[in-house]
Amino acid sequence: MIQRRYAGLTVREASVGLAICAVVAIVGDDSLLTVATFVLLVGLKLTWTGDGLFVLPAAFTFHWVETSIGLFYKSVFGREVPTFVRSEYRPMVLIALGCCLALAVGIRLGLSLLKTDHDDDRSEYAFSFGLLMVAYVVATSFEGTLTAAGADYPSVRQIIVTADTARLGILFLLLRRLLAPTPRWSWIAGIVALEVALGISGFFAGFREPLVLAALALVEVFDRRNPRHWIAMTTAAVSAVAIGLLWMGIRSEYRRNFIAIDNFDTSRSARLRSIESLSLNFLHADSESTWETSDALVDRMWTVYYPALAVERVPQQLPHTNGQILWEALVHIVTPRVFFPGKPELPSDSEKVRKYSGVFVAGVEQNTSIAFGYAAEAYIDFGLPWMFLPVLIFGVVMGWFYRLFDRLIHHRELFVAFGTIAFWISLYLFERSWATLLGISLGMMVYLGLPVIVLDRFLTIRDSRVQRELEPLLFADDHTPGA
């Protein structure tokens, strides 16, 4: 049985946290490093759920990374990415860290609103290992079909995309089964390698999720005294960095192939051959080219450049919008396209960047969108300090949803799969606009969460029927002659 409780800050935790912040303050060359470290430690404590799952702390950590990675990169490696010299980044970093803290506080408040009540009688497993394997193979086989259908039917695209994420839930359950009680490392390595190959051969960086899911599954059973667990976790971390660096080095030319080569987007083998060729060229590059790619990767992940430019211009050159951006996002998500097929498209993030950051970036003309992010939108809408209020409320809602689904889903395995996938995808990106952030989160709760509850009820009825059929047999055994 897993105890679900949130322990307050202990003296030991406070002492360790202060010691870490002190070390960063002494060793680091920027006071922002100390602030960022403090926010990370506090956020991890606030998002800790105490139920054996680590998705909320993991999502918060990645969210935080996108606000602070450039600072630590410079401190450790002594290299400045373009954001340092092209913008007044410091105010935006503080605003971004404030958003992280507001989100974490909100999540803690939301978690505290509901208590779970089925610790003692919860069913651990919902499916057999064989059924999971079959479901994984079938779901993986149809992934491309669902992706294409989402593009062909925009009115139900959100439903299709959300349903497609159910495959990641199956993948996560499969990895958990392979890790416990006896880890089958070769199977795990093979499946993760397959997933990475499938992800990196797409148009976007789809290789991140399998590595994250493998790490989250490992953390659940992690034994500090087991060297194999340390090796596996280190391998996952190094692989994530290496593949991210490789992707950044080859993605521009790889994406050009989608346009230049006929049938490239429909041929998985052609894409894999292209990746192999481009990867070999990247691996043979000199060290300075590799460092430049690393700089580009960090600058891409540190998503404060365009928001920093907007903070410089608002309200000095452009006025605050008094909630207009957030209001439009809310109206957009409560009028789903499946019921309102004629509703207009929201302005792309690129248009907001052009208007508020003053930079003419690539946009819909090039079939792309440059990330602007909810933090910049909240600042433009409300300014300081009121911009943190909607972030706090969003955190409260997400924390409440986490506890609600934990309470409604009887089979722990189903909640583990849903909770991990839904809340990772909903919360891990700092760079999302309000419309995207709220739309994806609501889509996960409705289009994925409700079907999981229905499936849970079906399995509960099935289990009850089996139990009733077994009771007479058990009763007979208790009254056999001579007993």
- Please identify which residue in the block is written with the tokens 């009540």: 117
- Judge contact between 11 and 72, C-beta under 8 A: no
Nearest to 68 by CA among 375, 475, 482, 448: 375
Band of residue 482 on the pLDDT scale cut at 50, 70, 90 = very low
Residues 9-31, mean pLDDT to the nearest whole number: 87
Any residues with CB less than 8 A from the CB of 240 and at least 6 apart, and which?
Answer: 208, 211, 212
Reported residue count of the chain is: 483
Average pLDDT, the chain: 86
Examine the pLDDT at 384 and tell me if it is beyond 50. Answer: yes
Examine the pLDDT at 152 and tell me if it is beyond 90. Answer: no
Number of DSSP helices (H) and strands (E) in the chain, helices first: 22, 0
Angle formed at CA 424 by CA 66 and CA 15, multiple of 5 degrees: 65
Band of residue 74 on the pLDDT scale cut at 50, 70, 90 = very high
Examine the pLDDT at 120 and tell me if it is beyond 90. Answer: no
- Judge contact between 196 and 215, C-beta under 8 A: no
Examine the pLDDT at 98 and tell me if it is beyond 90. Answer: yes
What does each C-alpha distance from 122 to 50, 126, 148, 422 come to in angstroms?
A: 16, 11, 38, 21
Task: Please give the DSSP secondary-structure letter assigned to residue 335.
Answer: S
CA distance 474 to 471: 5
- Judge contact between 188 and 230, C-beta under 8 A: no
Task: Please give the DSSP secondary-structure letter assigned to residue 184.
Answer: -
Q: Residue 59 has which token pair?
A: 């999502």
Q: Residue 435 has which token pair?
A: 């419309």
Band of residue 345 on the pLDDT scale cut at 50, 70, 90 = confident
Handedness of CA 180, 47, 123, 454 (dihedral sign): negative
pLDDT score, position 14: 85
Handedness of CA 459, 406, 417, 219 (dihedral sign): negative
Angle formed at CA 443 by CA 440 and CA 448, multiple of 5 degrees: 125
The values of phi and psi at residue 285, to 5°, are -75, 160
Any residues with CB less than 8 A from the CB of 228 and at least 6 apart, and which?
Answer: 183, 185
Examine the pLDDT at 5 and tell me if it is beyond 60. Answer: no
Q: Residue 341 has which token pair?
A: 């097929």
Nearest to 348 by CA among 367, 326, 330, 376: 367
pLDDT score, position 127: 84
CA distance 130 to 138: 12
Residues 426-431, mean pLDDT to the nearest whole number: 95
Band of residue 376 on the pLDDT scale cut at 50, 70, 90 = very high
CA terminus-to-terminus distance, the chain: 33
Examine the pLDDT at 433 and tell me if it is beyond 50. Answer: yes
Q: Where are the alpha helices (DSSP H) in 153-267?
A: 157-164, 166-179, 185-200, 208-221, 227-260
pLDDT score, position 192: 92
CA distance 311 to 386: 15
- 446's enclosing H/E stretch is none
Task: Please give the DSSP secondary-structure letter assigned to residue 80.
Answer: -
Q: Residue 301 has which token pair?
A: 């992940």
Band of residue 483 on the pLDDT scale cut at 50, 70, 90 = very low
Examine the pLDDT at 167 and tell me if it is beyond 80. Answer: yes
- Rounded to the nearest 10°, the torsion over CA 82, 83, 86, 90 is -150
Residues 445-465, mean pLDDT to the nearest whole number: 88
Q: Residue 398 has which token pair?
A: 């997400």
DSSP secondary structure letters along 118-152: -SSS-----S-HHHHHHHHHHHHHTHHHHHHHHHH
Q: Residue 137 has which token pair?
A: 């193979």
